[in-house]
Every structure is written in structure tokens, then in C-alpha cells.
Structure 1
Amino acid sequence: MQFLHTLPIPLQTVGLLLLSNIFMTFAWYGHLRNLAAAPWYMAAVASWGIALFEYLLQVPANRIGHTLWSVGQLKIVQEVITLSVFVPFAALYLGEPLKWDYLWAGLCLVGAVYFIFRGG
């Protein structure tokens, strides 16, 4: 991952958070498709295994990002990424219908980004 250090901090942070959120989404929701018939504790163990990779990416992402952004800014960036990963996952992987509510939630996050990053 040496090439990562040559990228600007926002790109490093967002890239790692994006990858982290892919693992997180599979850890949280992948069992609904793959392990639906398995006991809940087997799904929990599988999710914990996947979540390890999430944390291996999320922790350095937050450490890198915190050199530039506040914790609040990091959290809002992470929420935008989470929705950006979750919506395609829900529709394409879980077969959930797309709803207008995803758009409205996204617009609310645009507002959150504005307020958390404005200079005031």
C-alpha cells in the first residue's frame, strides 16, 4: 500500500472508507441473502470475520483523515459513503426495490456535508 501515501489525504481517506464500507455492508447485511437459513449465531460469526477486514481499512482511514478533518467531518463523509455503497448493494445484491427515499436521504446528507464543512 505504499502508493497510497502519494495520494492526497482526502483521496486516501475516502478510498479506504469506501473499501471499508463495502466490507461493512456485507458484514451487516450479506447474511440476509447468504445465511438466511442458518442460525443467527453462525451469521454473527461470519459477520465478525468480515468486519475484521472493515476495521483493518477503517482505522487507518480515520487516522489519515483526522490529520485534515475533524471527527464530525469524518463521520459525515463516512455516512455519505455508507449510503453510496448501501443503495447499490440493497438493489443489486439483495434485490430490494429502489425508493425515492434513498434520494431524499442523499439530499439530506448533501446538507449535512455543507453544514459540517462550511467555515462557520
Structure 2
Amino acid sequence: MQTLLLLAASNIFMTVAWYWHLKGGMNKPLFMVIMISWTIAFVEYCLAVPANRIGFASGWSAGQLKVTQEAIALIVFGVFMVTVLGEPVSWRHLAAFGCIMAAVAFLFVGK
């Protein structure tokens, strides 16, 4: 559970670091946006690295950690896309999300 919470928190910071400037920050100089994003991403790394170490020490494989992280990233990004960027969710978003969730299931079956 600790691994999932840390991965979720790290993905919130990474999504903000990568996409915050698309809504209201497009007029800022690119170098400034990069510096702000790196600052935000530092927090993401401070959460993601322990999440992966804890998960690996608890018996998760690197593949399980990565695919789980991607699934969490899609959930976080989906919420960000709708709430912050105001973009609608289409059936293609849901289908892609279903494929990623299937990948997670495949890696955890029989483990």
C-alpha cells in the first residue's frame, strides 16, 4: 500500500511538472518553464525512488513496478486533463486505459 501511495503522489507532481504550463503558462519563457518544472519534478523523484525501493524490497518485480506506475500515471493524467486542461474523455482514452490495466493484470497474475 505504501508503494502505491508514493507512486500516486509522485505521479501527481510529475504530471504537474510536465503539463502545468499548457494552461496559462504558454506566455512564459521556455527556460523559466523548464526550471520551474525541474523544481516540481525534484519532489516527484523524492517520492518515486523510495516507492520503487519499497516495492522491490516487498517482492514486486521491476516490470510490475513500471506497469503499475504507468497505470497510476494515466489515472492522474486523466483527472488533470479533464479538471485542469478542460479536455473531454473519449472512448479512445477509456480503451487505452483498459489496455494498460490489462497489462498490469497480466504482470500480477500468478504472483
Structure 1 length-normalised TM: 0.87
Query: In structure 2, what is the Cα distance between the partners aligned to 1:77 and 1:25?
Result: 16
Match of residue 78 from structure 2: 87
Match of residue 107 from structure 1: 98
1:97 partner amino acid:
P
Match of residue 6 from structure 1: none
- Structure 1 segments of 4 or more deviating over 6 A? none
Match of residue 43 from structure 2: 53
Cα RMSD, aligned residues only: 1.2
Structure 2 length-normalised TM: 0.94
Could you tell me which runs of 5 or more consecutive residues in structure 2 were left unpaired when the two chains were aligned. Answer: none
Could you tell me which runs of 5 or more consecutive residues in structure 1 were left unpaired when the two chains were aligned. Answer: 1-10
Please say if 1:39 is aligned against 2:29.
Answer: yes
Note the alpha carbon deviations across 1:24-83, whole angstroms, 9 max, x for none: 000000111142101111111110000010001001000001112000000011011001
Query: In structure 2, what is the Cα distance between the partners aligned to 1:34 and 1:22?
Result: 19
3-state SS, counterpart of residue 66 of structure 1: helix
Cα shift at 1:119: 2.5
Give me the identity figure in percent. Answer: 52
